Amino acid sequence: MPDLTWNEVKNACPTDAIFDDVSKGVCINISLLTGDAIADLANEGVIEAVYKLVDYCYAAQTTKNNGLPSGSKLTAFSAPTFSAPTAGTSPTTTARHSVNAQFPVNLSIASSPIG
């Protein structure tokens, strides 16, 4: 299954949201990814960061697919969809973000999709 590179995802994200650190490897700056100030690990915002990262992956996949022939296009990320917002307390409400993602599984060692 063809995959994206971190550089391709980086190019779809806000500037400097994904970067290469010599001592740590590939890093993601959550504040830059989401556009929200995340001061420390006690802050909320995991749901937003995950769905935005998936959306940026889909955008990177779409960009990459523009130059590929039909049989070679990446399909790991489906187009994200959003449900209609539910009634909530102003100024926030909720909506459902849905996307399908395909990932490789090594069947010789896998007991679940993660790990």
Q: How do residues 53-84 score in pLDDT, each as one tens digit? A: 999 999 999 999 998 998 899 988 888 888 77
Separation between Cα atoms, residue 78 and residue 100, nearest integer Å: 5
Task: Say how many C-beta atoms besides its own lie within 10 A of residue 67's C-beta.
Answer: 8
Parse the chain into domains and list their residue ranges. 6-79
**If 0-12 CB within 10 Å is exposed, 13-18 middle and 19+ buried, where does residue 10 land?**
buried
- Indicate the pTM of the whole model: 0.79
